Amino acid sequence: MKYIGALLAAIMVMLSGLSVFAAHPATIGAEEVSTASDLIVVKKPETNNSATTKTTYGVTGTGKNGVSVAYYRYDGSTYNAILNSDGAPVQTKIGAAKVFYKQMSLTEGHNKFAVRAEYNGLSQVVYFDINLLKREVLDNVNSFTYDVQSIFTGWI
């Protein structure tokens, strides 16, 4: 009886660990339906379509304590879970600071990502596109970065 109890306890422990990190699928479609809308808020990028000259981009956001977050990259047909160096999906659990942060490497042109949040059976997916521009292109077409030199126009 003791052995059965121990076995059940071990299985429960294993499953409880899996429930945090196994909830996210390996791939998601381009129009995944969210069952919640308030699990996370992506703070950066601020909009679904943005441009940058940064070749590595820090995706940040806030969310409820305990929400599990996974990251996906679009390969032209589907969104695949981003893997860490061990080949395991990169997933984090939001903690006391209620923030998440993940650096994404960008290639020139459009880079499509998704952040998927999961909490108590509810899920939320946020899609965004980061366009990596060459510096000179960005300067010409977009002034979202602060033009420091303009601070001093007419001053010197």
Partner 1 sequence: MFKERVKTTAMILLFVNLIVLTCRLWFGGGLMREEISDFARSLPLVGGLFHDEKISIPREMLSRPRKILINDGSLWIAYYNTDLAFSPIENRTGQIIRAFLRGETVSSKPVSLREWQAAIENVSIYVEMPIAYTTDMLCSVMGVDGENAPADISAIRDFVILPSTGDTGVFLLVRDAYDGDNARIYQFPRESFSLPAGDLAIYTENNTDYYEPAFSTGVEPEGASLDPMVLFFDSRPSTADLIPANPIAAPEVESRVLGCFFKNVDTAGRYEDGEVSVFVENDGDARIYPGGLFEYRAADENKGVELAESYSSYYETVNSAISFAEDLWGRVSDQPLSVLVSSDLTQSGGGRIHIAMDYYQDGRPVAVRLGGDGFEPMNHGIEMDIADGKIVSYRQLFRSYYGSGTSVLKGDFVEALNYFVNGFSIRESPVITDIYIGYMDRGGSEPLSACWLAELGGDDRVYDYVGEEEAGAADGGEAPPADEEVST
The footprint of partner 1 (CB under 8 A) covers 43-44, 46, 53-56, 58, 60-62, 92, 95-103, 135, 145-149, 151-152, 155-156
Paired strand residues for 80: 27, 73
Q: Give 35 or 101: the residue with its C-beta nearer to partner 1.
A: 101
Q: How far is the CB of 4 from partner 1 (least distance, A)?
A: 29
Smallest gap from residue 11 Cβ to partner 1 (A): 22
User: Taking the complex as a whole, how short is the minimal distance between the CB of residue 98 and partner 1, in angstroms?
Assistant: 5
Q: How far is the CB of 73 from partner 1 (least distance, A)?
A: 15
Per residue in 11-42, is it b (16+ CB within 10 Å) or e — as a string?
eeeeeeeeeeeebbbeebeeebeeebeebbeb
Q: Tell me: cis bond preceding 89? Omega within 30 of 0 counts.
A: no
DSSP letter at 145 equals S
Q: Closest by alpha carbon to 83, among 93, 71, 74?
A: 71
Task: State the nearest-atom distance from the C-beta of 9 to partner 1, in Å.
Answer: 20
Q: Which is nearer to partner 1, 121 or 154 (CB)?
A: 154
The answer to whether 42 touches 57, Cβ cutoff 8 Å, is no
Which is nearer to partner 1, 31 or 147 (by Cβ)? 147
Return the number of the residue (77 or 150) whose C-beta is nearest partner 1. 150
Q: Which is nearer to partner 1, 75 or 139 (CB)?
A: 139
Helix (H, G, I), strand (E, B) or coil at 147: coil
